[in-house]
Amino acid sequence: MPAYAIANLSNVDVNADIARYIATIDETLALFGGRFLVHGKVPQVMEGDWADWTVVVAFPDLERAHAWYASPGYQEILPLRTNNSDGATIIVEGVDEGYRAASFLA
């Protein structure tokens, strides 16, 4: 099943470190089949509280999502983001195409 790395960021200081992070993250994703679905967009909040920026990266599966996050290449650039923004990041497994919400009850 697909997996997603999702970040909800605020107080992003767009400086040289963030620019370096953005310039190099794509090459860390490529090794694990990751691709951006959403990047740095400000969402239209429909319910509840949400930070300023949203990022969603899709991976072929949960194993590769976790391998990307733990990889030396990503860990090397991670502080460029975490030292210059606030927020939370999660990795979550998706569902197969055709999934129906009622399946959850089974």
pLDDT of residue 106: 81
How far apart are the two ends of the chain, measured CA to CA in Å? Answer: 18
Residue 86's domain comprises 3-96
pTM of the entire predicted model: 0.90
Q: Where are the alpha helices (DSSP H) in the chain?
A: 16-30, 62-70, 72-82
Which residues of the chain fall short of a pLDDT of 50?
none
DSSP 30-58: HTTT-EEEEEEEPP---SS---SEEEEEE
- The number of distinct structural domains making up the chain is 1
Domain CATH code at residue 63 = 3.30.70.100
pLDDT of residue 61: 97
Q: Report if residue 62 sits inside a domain.
A: yes
pLDDT of residue 46: 94
Q: Are 52 and 42 in contact (CB under 8 A)?
A: yes
Token pair for 100: 């129906």
